[in-house]
Amino acid sequence: MNKEELTAHVLLAKNGNTDSFCKLYELYYKDMYRFAYYMLKDEEDAKDVISETVLDAFIGIKNLKKPENFKAWIFQILTTKCKRQMAVYVSNRENLSDAEQAMDIPVEEKAYADSIDLKNAFSILNDMERTVISLMVIAGYSSRETAKLLNSKEGTIRSIKSRALTKLSQELKEDFQ
């Protein structure tokens, strides 16, 4: 989709055209889902936040000033929703250890061993590290853009990223330095 098409679809979506909105959504929804999935470590919750994000974004797209920012903008909504959901997890976490959570893998997911490994490896990251890695790896943001999204400093993000990558490589038993 070139820039003119993108702009046109955003304009149409602003006027309530669901077709155009979903064309825009189609461009990014796989990354959006994976982002939510690794952030929340739960398929159902990931699906829920995606649906909420879509509705929010559709209602709010009239406020989107620059069509070319559609991706960043919808990821911002998604990030906010995931963070809110993670705060809920924290408050409910007392009686559920990480080990128990890790055991709780539905059988039908086993076929996707790589993504399960990765999901479990993500469990060793703290919330901030997971957010940073999800944004940078899955959504493809630079450390500067991530810093802006999370209202943090670039240097902070870079150090969080390095630390998280080191932890992940240890957990996934891969050589990385």
Partner 1 sequence: MNEQEYMNKLKQKAENAPIPESISPENMKKMLDEHMTTTKPSKEQKKPTSSKKWLAYTTVACAMLLVVSGAGLTMATKNMIKQSETSMDMAQEACVEETGAAAEDDASDSDLACATDLNTPESYEEYYDTIKSNLDAYYDSFAQVQDSNKRSDLQVKDFNTSKAENSVVFEDAAMESGTNSDFSTTNIQEENIDEGDIIKTDGKYIYKVSTKIEDGLLTNTLSIIKTVNGKLTLESTIHLDSCFTDNKEDYVYFKEFYLYQNQLVLVFMNDFDKPETTIVIYDVTNKSNPVKKKVIPQSGSYESSRIHEGILYTISNFSNADFSTKKPYENYIPSVAGKLIDCSNIHFPENVLAESTYVVSSIDLNTLEVTDSIAVPTAGGQIYVSDRSIYIYGNVYSEPGKTKLLRVAYREGKLSPGKSTIITGYVYDSFALSEYNGYLRILATISPSNINLLREDSDMIPKTNATNDIINDEAVDMSQLTENINVLYILDENMSLVSKISGIAPGEQIKSVRYIGDMGYLVTYENVDPLFAIDLSDPENPEIKGRLTVPGFSNYLHPYADGLLFGLGEEYDPQTQTFEGLKISMFDISNPTNIQVKDQYILDEAYYAPAQYNHKALMINPEKNIIGFLYQEQVGADNGIYVTNCYFVTYEYQEDYGFMESGMYLVDTEDYDSDQVRGIYIGDYLYISTSNSVTSYQLNGEDAIDILIE
Interface of this chain with partner 1, residues 1 to 40, rule: CB under 8 A: 2-5, 7-8, 11, 16, 18-19, 21-23, 25-26, 29-30, 33-34, 37-38
Beta-carbon contacts of 13 under 8 Å, excluding residues fewer than 6 positions away, are 20, 21, 24, 58, 61
Identify the residue among 39, 82, 136, 146 touching partner 1 (CB under 8 A).
136
Residues 120, 122, 123, CA angle at the centre, nearest 5°? 70
Question: Taking CB under 8 A as the rule, does residue 120 contact partner 1?
Answer: no
Identify the residue among 97, 104, 105, 112 touching partner 1 (CB under 8 A).
112
Question: How many Å apart are CA 177 and CA 3, to the nearest integer?
Answer: 39
From residue 47 to residue 86, the character string flagging contacts with partner 1 as x (rule: CB under 8 A) and all else as - is xx-xxx-xxxxxxx--xxxx-xx--xx--xx--x---xx-
Three-class SS of residue 69?
helix
Cα–chain-centroid distance for residue 9? Answer: 23
Question: Taking CB under 8 A as the rule, does residue 90 contact partner 1?
Answer: yes
